[in-house]
Chains A and B, each alone.
Chain A
Amino acid sequence: MKKRQMYMRMVTASLLRRRSRMVIALLAIAIGATILSGLVTIYVDVPRQLSQQFRSYGANMIITSSGEGFTQEDVDKAVSLIPKDQLVGVTPYRYDTVRINDRPVMAAAMSMEEAQKTSPFWSVEGRWPSAEKEIMVGESVAETYNLKEGKRVTCTYAPEADKTDKKKESKQEEEDIVPDNFIDFTVTGILSTGGKEEDYVYMGLKDMENLTGSPTVFDICELSVSAESKQLSSYADSITGKSDMMSARLVKRVTESETKVFSKLQSLVLLVTIIVLALTMISVATTMTAVVAERRMEIGLRKALGASNQSIVAEFMGEGLVLGAVGGAVGAVFGFLFAQAVSVNVFNSSITFMPWLLPLTIIASVIVTGIACLLPIRSATDIDPALVLKGE
């Protein structure tokens, strides 16, 4: 039998036959490795998710018109400057004043599908409009007119007052062209955002065209782009530069807080990681110290048989490193599950398995265990065989 074989036999025999003590050390390492690999997973994977999450805090770019508005074509052209995979949502809005009970109300018309992408945080009681003649009303509008989900409301279109005053004839004409200058809407949902959005009513573009009798011309366009603020502003600049009637700007508040929260989150994860590593080291070192104390006689015997300090270190280190590797492997698996659970519960999305994390976790916990074992093992070599072998 080779020396190495005997060494392996001793290390494994010690671990397997002295299970109860080793299970505690293993547990400490596995828990440490679980938290470590879980946090690293979150550290790496969550920023990706978070940027999706933060995008849900609304558009991060707004295109406004410097002239008489713009068309879908203009929007498409401008948006083509941004890579498709970074584009989360594009919602051009058309605003007009309509009347409900003869009082003016601001109406926004847009594609409901797109708006849900750029404003996913909008909380709607009921549902978003999905067909023509359906309308969503802001909460303060709903209060003013006592509107509820499922109720009907009639919107009339009133051209601006000055136009009416100056050109009564033309109004007459318009009414002729557009017989349909009022629409009976069904309220599908009440929108509450806590902001000025609650003063609006929201309808589809088609309804607005029917109501006003004029083709769609957009006033602003909201964009949700998955990019960091630097890249984002370069996109905004190029959109502004390319067109003489459109100017794009960033919605600062959201992007800034996004980066801030990122770096806060990352330093938090780093801090927790360091604490967990330290705690793991302490508990491994404590367990190892107990193990060495428990095995004083055995160590004394080995020394009496002629074991050098190096052999004693090698044997105990071997046990420690095997524990580190096994604990690391267990921890890597549980860490993934842990990260998965956190991700699903907190961020509502699942995490991609990162294969490189397995060897990394094992190596990290082997190193941590090795360092934690240094001191206790050092003390093992100080054991005086003559003293410990003396008696009970």
Chain B
Amino acid sequence: MSLLELKNVSKIYGNLHALDHINLKVEKGEWLAIMGPSGSGKSTTMNIIGALDKASEGEVLLDGVDIAKKSARELTNIRRDKIGLIFQQFHLVSYLTAVENVMLAQYYHSVPDEKEAMEALERVGLADRAKHYPSQLSGGEQQRVCVARALINYPEIILADEPTGNLDEANEEIVVELFRKLHEEGTTLVVVTHNPEVAEVAQRTVVLRNGKIDHESINENFTGRIKHITLQ
């Protein structure tokens, strides 16, 4: 059973089909990139997978459970327990320090644990910036805090929507490197990106166009842990 499976998923705004009968499977431990032109439905897909939004039609199976039919309250619990989110605009709480921002995810998930949060910051190389406020951190550093926040609760799947969109090349590399590490540890990753360099390090790339899957490809040069994946 796939970790995530989209069956005939559509998202309809008025008469606009932002997603039009999408079928997509993501295996446990897989690293998937989603590409496509602006407006093709990438963020919409992410929001539906991330339980932030509901599909208009179709089934969204996460761990075999259809989350398309869940109530807002149940979706909240799914986000809390199974999803790690990373955004292009970081979205850190401005009045909390780096470590407190990481602890915020723990706070809603279970109990805040400063030691564990510090370890997460260490993993992204920011142990020395733990007491800094977001405004005192560079964009790259902020995104690394977000990565730490996304991984702190060991989510089933980490979803990143344009994680490097606001970063320069050096920082982009650092974040990609972090993804690679996460993948190696067995984390399932779905990364939306415009940037081919970020996409090509993933195992597989799905390209959307006008709300449909245009094509997909397997990255032959992939050097990561899990090799055997199939096109759908």
Contact = CB atoms under 8 A, between A and B. Distances in A.
Contacts, number: 85
A391 interface: yes
A303 B76 contact: yes
A9 interface: yes
B81 A308 contact: no
A17 B95 contact: yes
Nearest to A308: B76
Contacts of A301: 91, 93
A297 B91 contact: yes
Contacts of B112: 1-3, 5-6
Contacts of B50: 304
B193 to A, nearest CB: 16
Contacts of B149: 305
A305 B104 CA distance: 8
A375 interface: no
B111 A2 contact: yes
B52 A10 contact: no
Interface residues of B, number: 33
A386 B95 contact: no
Contacts of B95: 13-14, 16-18
Given A9-B100, A17-B94, A18-B95, A304 B79 contact: yes
A391 B89 contact: yes
Contacts of A307: 76, 80, 108
Interface string A1-42: 111011101100110111000000000000000000000000
Nearest to B50: A304
Nearest to B44: A386
Interface string B78-102: 0111000101110101111000100
Interface in A263-313: 297-298, 300-309, 311
Which of B87, B89, B107: most chain A CB closer than 10 A? B107
A318 interface: no
Contacts of B91: 297-298, 300-301, 304, 389
Nearest to A300: B91
B214 interface: no
B73 interface: yes
B105 A389 contact: no
A260 B112 CA distance: 62
B136 interface: no
A226 to B, nearest CB: 57
A385 interface: yes
A306 B109 contact: yes
A385 B159 CA distance: 15
Contacts of A7: 107
Contacts of B53: 386
A392 interface: yes
B177 interface: no
Contacts of A14: 95
Nearest to A9: B100
Contact of A306 (B43, B79, B103): B79
A196 interface: no
B80 A1 contact: no
A306 B93 contact: no
A6 B95 CA distance: 13
Interface string A350-392: 0000000000000000000000000000000000011001111
Contact of A1 (B93, B105, B113): B113
B114 interface: yes
B108 A389 contact: no
Given A1-B111, A304-B52, 12 more contacts: A3-B107, A6-B112, A9-B100, A298-B94, A300-B91, A302-B104, A304-B79, A307-B80, A308-B108, A311-B108, A389-B52, A389-B89
Interface of A: 1-3, 5-7, 9-10, 13-14, 16-18, 297-298, 300-309, 311, 385-386, 389-392
12 contacts: A1-B111, A1-B113, A3-B112, A6-B104, A298-B93, A302-B93, A304-B50, A304-B52, A305-B85, A306-B109, A308-B108, A309-B73
